[in-house]
Amino acid sequence: MLALLLSALLTLTDEYVGVQSAPVVAPVSDTSAMMYLSQFGWLDPSARKPGSAALLDIRNAVKDFQSFAGLNQTGELDDETLQLMNMPRCGVRDKIGHDARRKKRYALQGSRWKVRDLSYRITKYPRGLKTADVDREISQAFQIWENVANISFHRVDTVGSKVHIEIRFEKGEHGDGDAFDGEGGTLAHAYFPVYGGDAHFDEEEKWTIESYRGTNLFQVAAHEFGHSLGLSHSDVRSSLMAPFYRGYHPSFKLDSDDTNAIQALYGKRIKSVPVTTTKRPIIGAGNFPKKETPSTPTDKSKLCDDPKIDAIAHMADGFTYVFKGSDFYRLTENGVADGYPKKIRTMFGTLEDNLDAAFTWTNDRTYFFKGNKYWRFTDMTMDTGYPKDISDGFEGIPANIDTAFVWSGNGKIYFFKGDKYWRFDPSRRPPVSSGYPKPISNWEGVPNNLDAALRYSNGHTYFFRANKYWRFNDRNFAVDTTDPPFPRNTAQWWFGCGGGASSMKNVPDDYQGDKSDDAAHARPASPQQDTQL
């Protein structure tokens, strides 16, 4: 068997390496099982290794797939594993990048739409279903995402007009290199926003509506549109974004894993999103908080003249805010939103000026720090009993910190001050281990004496000092090497100062030029890296 596995691995070709790939081959043998693992990202067929190393890779790939699928991690192609491989499923890869052991349950591919109202068109309908019925099911599939996230959809029927998401029912080879395989196997595939967002369905499937027979169109479409919005496959069995089709569920609803994932990209649903084809803020959208004063013309001269900031945070309303002196600014894809700056006290009550740091925890509560005090906000409102002493709520963390953030690599809170940093884990006692503080030089390329830091929704951590910012790659555990290089000018790239091609709208997608790994930047680092911090 081992010889067969090795032979299968060495005969695989690069056609199985893309974001999408060739049709699923029903894995009735060891060889086709290896092809399946390669096709869906669990094996790297381009890695040529000697016998023992290759066999170890195969065993680890099988274990990773079994872990992802909730099976016993035997490392062997047992009956249970082969049976799951034979299930109808989505054609999108399960593992994108080099690390399957993510800390979050849900997975974000790493790209998302810059607009909040997306258009779609069904350019080719399936046979056997009425057009009106297909329109209704597709609309309802989009609606389940719209119900929980700050995003909306509308259908465009005008032939030739541009839309964000094109939907087609095709069979076999249909022009994108991702041929369908007939009934069973691959049901559909969709492309992430960075690749256009289109969704294709296998015409040869028996698509049905509200029936236990055939394949339920609504459920499969809702899954594929998750990919179109930027979600990868989930390892949560009950999640819509799990890759395997498990049959029709008449009482279907999104799992909390799906809701958390889509809200991580687009924010929580805020009452209504106006229907428009104009661009929206990439950070979020929605109604202004009640405490805000009437809008005034934007004056970002303070930020442009001196882009040094006190703190930055992505808050529960889905927007990113910058704090500087007694002012705060809301950011949009073009820089600073209209009507800003505003005074901190107009929206944040007794929160003090000249902050030291801010971060938003996983429960959407935002924490602000200054001196030896900290404040906590829930839904943009200060909680009672604050401020409190840092020593009370964050034992082991010093006063007068430089910055704080939640790192996507392990979900823990990091505090930086001078040339040192502390890791804070609320689930442990004491929350700061005895090995801290440690030197900031452990974070390769990150400077000392920072002003602010932010874990952005694309999975990167951004560090700010004076008029520059650095983007940290959690997978490589170092500041990214790109063109243009880091550090970059904060005023130009984040605040929209100085004109030119660069502006805030490029920041969330500034990793897309790194073609070596389409989505690994959005995936948390390996748990093994935790020991290095």
Which sequence positions are flagged as catalytic?
224
Report whether 435 contacts 420 (CB < 8 A).
no
Place of tokens 């974004």: 241
**Of 278, 309, 288, residue with least CA distance to 495:** 309
Helix (H) or strand (E) holding 363: none
CA distances from 305 to 308, 379, 413, 498 (A): 9, 32, 31, 10
**CA atoms within 13 Å, Cβ hemisphere of 333:** 17
- Contacts of residue 259, Cβ cutoff 8 Å, sequence gap at least 6: 148
- Contacts of residue 56, Cβ cutoff 8 Å, sequence gap at least 6: none
DSSP one-letter string for 429-443:
SSSS-TT-SEEGGGS
- Contacts of residue 294, Cβ cutoff 8 Å, sequence gap at least 6: 339
Burial class (CB in 10 A: 0-12, 13-18, 19+), 476: middle
Residue 13, both tokens: 């070709």
Helix (H) or strand (E) holding 155: strand 152-155
- What is the chain's length? 533
Using left for φ > 0, alpha for ψ between -120 and 50, and beta otherwise, residue 515 falls in alpha
- Say whether the peptide bond before residue 341 is cis (omega within 30 degrees of 0): yes
Report whether 475 contacts 522 (CB < 8 A).
no
**Of 28, 38, 1, 25, residue with least CA distance to 10:** 38
**CA atoms within 13 Å, Cβ hemisphere of 292:** 15
Q: Where do the DSSP E strands lie in 381-476? A: 381-382, 388-389, 403-406, 413-417, 420-424, 438-439, 452-455, 461-465, 468-473
Report whether 422 contacts 374 (CB < 8 A).
no
User: What is the Cα gyration radius of the chain?
Assistant: 24
Place of tokens 């499937």: 205
314-318-322 Cα angle (round to 5): 35
Report whether 267 contacts 149 (CB < 8 A).
yes
